[in-house]
A and B are shown apart, each in its own frame.
Chain A
């Protein structure tokens, strides 16, 4: 038996997920203020269905359940989806959460190897049923999300390259008329909590920047070309599409480096 019990210089996976949840607290507070206790019910149900789906997947894969569940990936996904989807249709929320986690996380072999982010997948899935109505900009929520994101950045937990690429492209494309995207809370939520994920994005900083820019361009093209009103669903679709290219981007930008 040998092991190297080290002093840790960085938070563990579970602690990272906890801090990401913590950064969502202002947004949850704003939504609670706007929607009332309905939000809490939605959060609870989504979390339960996420945990059930994760546990079921793990049991089917014959993996230890509790050590994985306590990492908090499922809870984070559930909270994100609750913030992204309308809380009025609870069954849809629960179904999308459970299906996304089962199909996009567990089917791909767990949190480390899920090439497609379950939150983006769940959002796209829900988009099929959602009424095509233009969501209004929710400025307080957007600001709360920004604050949370900045806090994560300050803690060194946000891999900022991909979100930066996205925001840069949206800013550059202002003349096209994409300014309204910046007011959408879904954009900031996806940028800060989904695009900073490791396994569905390239691993190199350069690759992530390219990924973010490509996601921005794809999203803006889709929004302007197809008159799709929902920025969140469109961006989720672009992210899923681009996640498929992440291994390629890795291959292009990753090298063993120069020999010394």
Chain B
């Protein structure tokens, strides 16, 4: 009899503890409603080049497709491997390397219009997803380098091929501190002379 009673008591205690844990877990969990929608959070991680290399018409549609689970996280070359890692962390999936046939990752570049060749057809202006090209019909166009995302969408429509991509410069200090290597390089005097 006492054994049954003890078991009952034990069961009651476990049940109570479970209840408490469950309710506190629900209380403490960040409310899902307070977070922005998943697509927005994914969009915040994407590099916003709007280049369409993922096969979608911009970063937001790709984010929406990812949120619906209709696409894989390794479709964004401008985001790089770092971007894939961030997406994997957000979506609680595994890291996925780029597909072998994926467009190559390039260093950030900005478009430059050869102003002598430009005929002012406005086609690039209509292709630019971030309105980074200025100009009007039959007038020379120019790229706002600060706003250019390097998506290369303006290259194809240009009928005279006057747009080229230039590496983006970061001035004045365009060298980087490398990761420290712990070793000292000694120089013998006169080796350079």
Which residues of chain A have a CB within 8 Å of any CB of chain B? 1-5
Contacts of A3 in B (CB 8 A): 180-185
Interface size class of B (residues with CB under 8 A): under 10
How many A-B Cβ pairs are below 8 Å?
15
Which residues of chain B have a CB within 8 Å of any CB of chain A? 177-178, 180-185
A4 vs B181: C-alpha distance when bound (angstroms):
9
Q: Which chain A residue lies CB-closest to B181? A: A1
8 CB-based A-B contacts, threshold 8 Å: A1-B181, A1-B183, A1-B185, A2-B180, A3-B180, A3-B181, A3-B182, A3-B183
Main secondary structure of the interface of B (DSSP, over half): loop
Contacts of A2 in B (CB 8 A): 177-178, 180-181
Closest Cβ of chain A to B179, distance in Å, is 9
A1 vs B183: C-alpha distance when bound (angstroms):
8
A1 vs B178: C-alpha distance when bound (angstroms):
8
Does A5 lie within 8 Å of B181, measured CB to CB? Answer: no
Contacts of B184 in A (CB 8 A): 3, 5
A89 vs B177: C-alpha distance when bound (angstroms):
56
Contacts of A1 in B (CB 8 A): 181, 183, 185
Closest Cβ of chain A to B142, distance in Å, is 39
Q: Across chains A and B, which 8 residue pairs bring their CB atoms closest together, nearest first?
A: A5-B184, A2-B178, A1-B181, A3-B184, A3-B183, A1-B185, A2-B181, A3-B181
Q: Which chain A residue lies CB-closest to B186? A: A5
Closest Cβ of chain A to B44, distance in Å, is 25
Q: Which chain A residue lies CB-closest to B185? A: A1
Closest Cβ of chain A to B182, distance in Å, is 7
Contacts of B177 in A (CB 8 A): 2
Contacts of A5 in B (CB 8 A): 184
A4 vs B184: C-alpha distance when bound (angstroms):
8
Closest Cβ of chain A to B176, distance in Å, is 10
A160 vs B119: C-alpha distance when bound (angstroms):
78
Contacts of B185 in A (CB 8 A): 1, 3
Q: Which chain B residue lies CB-closest to A4? A: B180
A14 vs B155: C-alpha distance when bound (angstroms):
62
Q: Which chain B residue lies CB-closest to A5? A: B184
Q: Which chain B residue lies CB-closest to A1? A: B181
